[in-house]
A = this chain, B = another copy of it.
Amino acid sequence: MDKKAIISSLQLSQEDLLKAGCFDTNQIVKIIEAALVSFKKGEIIFPDKTVQIFDKKTQSRINCLPSTLLREKVCGVKWVSVFPQNPALYNKQNLSAVILLSNIRDGFPLTIMDGTFISNIRTAGIGSVAAKYLAKKDSKVIGFIGSGEQAKMHLITMLSVRPSLKECRVASLNPKNEEKFIREMQVIFPGVLFQGTKSDLGKAVIGADIVITATSAQLPLLKKKWLKEGVFYCHVGGYEDEFSVALACNKIVCDDWQIVKHRTQTLSLMYKKGILKDQDVYANLVEIVSGKKQGRQNPMEKIYFNSVGLSYLDIAIANWMYQKCLKASLGKEIIFQKEMIFSRPDIRRFIKS
């Protein structure tokens, strides 16, 4: 770092994060568990997010999600855009995210980093924390509805908590995406048996021990009748399962039910229609992680997990990744302010008036 600059930061790309060894699913699970407990203890400031929507129909938006880890003395913000038409219009990814961290000793910025990878691994990470406590220990088959980046990331984190998984089935509304999913994932997990379904959603799900829906369809794609006893269902998107799915489950667990119930996911819709009540939700995940409530109690239970996304988890993960990159001397120094503006002897020549 240039010691002479008044304000500088470390800039980190996705590629820096990979090189530093941040794609470490076991560590992600540990960080998420610790942050959930830390929040419960009051060690995290977590203000409401700010949502700016630019198009009511497409729901194109940029969300601004600040939070502070008081124990780590780090305040950060995730700045994330969701433009559902990007793939169709520009052949670009839907989501882009940037994370900025500042220290809370002097308030100066520490790092500005890629947030897309963090955002994706956080979502999949909390799903795998849930699976750790709620999926059967000997789960063999995992079935996906949806085959995008979120589905891929979930497969990776799920395999780290349930290495017993031997078979992965995938259904996408577009069969080409199934092929891409399998091609990319087979490279990473040569020992897993992959199966495409040519958009046959039931075929992907029936008989699976772990079912994951990661789609932006906004349709009740997942049917109750497809779910076998003992299933762990991880709901990632918005509205994508029949109401009867949740009603048929023995336990419903959320990352934070008080937040979930005011959103627009399947459980939220059910709550707003009066079909689901507060007491129907068994626990928030932190209660299970901290041992206050039990996770799976027998191999027959059907368990439903829904996460709405807690952005202080992104900040906790980002802070861990930043520390790893610092240690590995990765990233680029960027300067925001070299000197005090009026200390420059030549400032006069820059002023136009």
Contacts and interface: CB of A to CB of B under 8 A. Distances in A.
Interface in A326-345: 332, 334-338, 340-343, 345
A226 interface: no
B187 A347 contact: yes
A106 B347 CA distance: 38
Nearest to A13: B335
A62 B102 contact: yes
Contacts of A218: none
A314 to B, nearest CB: 14
Interface in A155-182: 156-157, 159-160
Contacts of A307: none
Interface string A70-108: 100001010101110010011011001010101010111
Given A109-B96, A348-B188, A353 B116 contact: no
A278 interface: no
Interface in A302-331: none
Contacts of A184: 342-343, 347
A338 B13 contact: yes
Nearest to A100: B79
Nearest to A94: B107
Contacts of A89: 106
B106 A86 contact: yes
Q: Which of A27, A45, A89 has the most CB of B within 10 A?
A: A45
Nearest to A18: B350
A77 B64 contact: yes
Interface centre among A79, A336, A341 (most CB of B within 10 A): A336
A25 interface: yes
A122 to B, nearest CB: 14
Most buried by B among A11, A50, A90: A50
A106 to B, nearest CB: 5
A46 B6 CA distance: 30
B54 A338 contact: no
A11 B11 contact: yes
A121 to B, nearest CB: 9
A353 B93 contact: no
11 contacts: A15-B337, A25-B353, A26-B353, A54-B70, A77-B79, A86-B106, A92-B106, A93-B340, A115-B336, A156-B351, A187-B348
Interface of A: 6-7, 9, 11, 13-15, 18-19, 21, 23-27, 45, 47-48, 50, 52, 54, 60-62, 64, 66, 68, 70, 75, 77, 79, 81-83, 86, 89-90, 92-93, 96, 98, 100, 102, 104, 106-109, 112-117, 120, 149, 152, 156-157, 159-160, 184-185, 187-188, 332, 334-338, 340-343, 345, 347-348, 350-353
Given A54-B104, A62-B102, A188-B348, 9 more contacts: A13-B335, A13-B336, A21-B352, A47-B52, A60-B107, A83-B107, A90-B106, A96-B106, A334-B334
